[in-house]
């Protein structure tokens, strides 16, 4: 039987995926990546590959893994290997600029966003072209890094001039229109292989990022929604929801095999999509309560792809 290969850098997120693959009896080889060497004349192992490299890898000291995987995915694809969330999906994963452009291309409404490269002076100039209030965030995001809400320019100027201020890991910081969330929550839609799984909501009382994984470590200084966050199913959102259908089309066009896509709804019912998470994690409490499993859906996809690769090899 062909092997399932997993590229990853965060041990804390692996247990649910391991369990889901083990339940199906699939052979697995794990590849922890924080850098490495790539012999371009080499041939990668046969099998189906799962890309679990996260845009927040640098917060765990693994930015080298992001750089390596970015190139390695092309190596795999050049040799015809099936990659779950391959090179095109990963390019989207590590750039909120590209996410916004892809969403707009798909006709999906996003908050007004300005990408800034150039440090405090450029940020202060850009801030004066955007309506207040606004939030900041890092282009290669994760763990709420760089996410701050500003209601006046003096506070923003003081923030970017402070000694501890840092641009995003790629040098790109975003200024983004703040959408006050109706009901005080944001929503995340989970889709695997073009199939809607479910939607969950999370309170924004403590921050602006939604990290549903049970093992997700949130830095309270930036986004204190970790252990205190409350997640709940939104059963009224179904596969027939027009926004969900738009997400499915977007994922097909952008070659995303799985993603958790986040949106915020304003008081008038307008929905603004602001984040696409290809390295998606799932909240075990919500799933257990409602008999759901995003990782089982991923494992089923991998099993189908393995079966297809075996049948193709037998011809």
pLDDT at 224 over 50: no
Which CATH number fits the domain 180-293, given the four candidates 3.40.50.2300, 3.90.1200.10, 3.30.470.20, 3.40.1350.10? 3.30.470.20
Helix (H) or strand (E) holding 306: helix 294-314
Which residue did the predictor score with more confidence, 245 or 308?
245
pLDDT cut 70: percent of the chain above it: 89
Sign of CA dihedral 260, 221, 185, 168: negative
pLDDT in tens, 138-169: 999 766 667 899 999 999 999 999 998 988 89
pLDDT in tens, 12-57: 999 999 999 999 999 999 999 999 999 999 999 999 999 999 988 8
- Determine the Cα–Cα distance for residues 268 and 41; give it in Å rounded to an integer: 57
The pLDDT of residue 125: 98
pLDDT in tens, 228-287: 458 999 999 999 999 999 999 999 999 999 999 999 999 999 999 999 999 999 999 999
Mean pLDDT of 188-211: 84
Question: Which of 26-40, 212-226, 299-313 has the least mean pLDDT?
Answer: 212-226
- Going by the DSSP 8-state scheme, the letter that residue 181 receives in this structure is P
Q: How confident is the model at residue 217 (pLDDT cuts 50, 70, 90)?
A: very low
What CATH class has 113-177?
alpha beta
**Range 4-92+298-309 has CATH code 3.40.50.20:** yes
- Domain edges within the chain: 4-92+298-309, 113-177, 180-293
Torsion of CA 221, 227, 230, 231, to 10 degrees: 100
Query: Helices then strands (H, E): number in the chain?
Result: 9, 13
pLDDT at 313 over 70: no
Q: What tokens does 114 get?
A: 């300005």
Report yes or no: 97 and 174 within 8 Å, Cβ to Cβ.
Answer: yes
The pLDDT of residue 157: 97
Average model confidence (pLDDT) across the chain: 90
- Determine the Cα–Cα distance for residues 164 and 158; give it in Å rounded to an integer: 11
Q: Does the pTM exceed 0.85? A: yes
Exposure string of 52-85, with b = 16+ CB inside 10 Å and e = fewer, is bbbbbbbbbebbebbbbbeebbebbbeeebbbbb
Contacts of 264 (CB under 8 A, 6+ apart): 179, 181, 186, 187, 204, 271, 272, 274
């Amino acid at each position: 039987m062909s092997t399932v290969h997993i590229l990853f850098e965060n041990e804390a997120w692996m247990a649910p995926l391991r369990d889901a693959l083990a339940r199906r009896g699939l052979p697995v080889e794990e590849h922890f990546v924080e850098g490495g060497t790539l012999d371009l004349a080499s041939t990668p192992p046969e099998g189906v590959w799962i890309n679990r490299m996260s845009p927040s890898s640098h917060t765990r000291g693994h930015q080298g893994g992001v750089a390596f995987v970015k190139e390695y995915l092309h190596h795999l694809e050049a040799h015809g290997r099936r990659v779950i969330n391959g090179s095109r999906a990963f390019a989207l994963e590590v750039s909120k600029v590209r996410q916004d452009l892809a969403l707009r291309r798909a006709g999906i409404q996003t908050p007004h966003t300005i990408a800034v490269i150039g440090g405090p002076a450029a940020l202060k100039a850009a801030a004066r072209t955007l309506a207040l209030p606004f939030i900041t965030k890092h282009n290669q995001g994760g763990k709420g890094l760089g996410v701050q809400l500003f209601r006046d320019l003096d506070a923003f100027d003081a923030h970017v001039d402070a000694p501890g201020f840092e641009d995003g890991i790629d040098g790109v910081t975003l200024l983004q229109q703040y959408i006050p969330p109706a009901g005080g929550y944001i929503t995340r839609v989970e889709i695997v292989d073009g199939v809607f799984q479910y939607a969950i909501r999370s309170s924004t009382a403590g921050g602006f990022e939604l990290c549903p994984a049970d093992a997700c470590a949130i830095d309270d200084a930036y986004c204190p929604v970790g252990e205190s966050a409350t997640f709940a199913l939104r059963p009224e959102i179904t596969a027939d929801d027009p926004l969900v259908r738009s997400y499915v089309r977007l994922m097909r066009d952008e070659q995303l095999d799985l993603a958790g896509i986040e949106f915020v709804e304003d008081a008038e019912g307008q929905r603004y999509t602001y984040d696409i998470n290809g390295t998606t994690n799932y909240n075990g409490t919500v799933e257990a309560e409602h008999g759901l499993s995003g990782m089982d859906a991923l494992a089923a996809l991998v099993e189908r792809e393995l079966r297809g690769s075996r049948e193709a090899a037998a011809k």
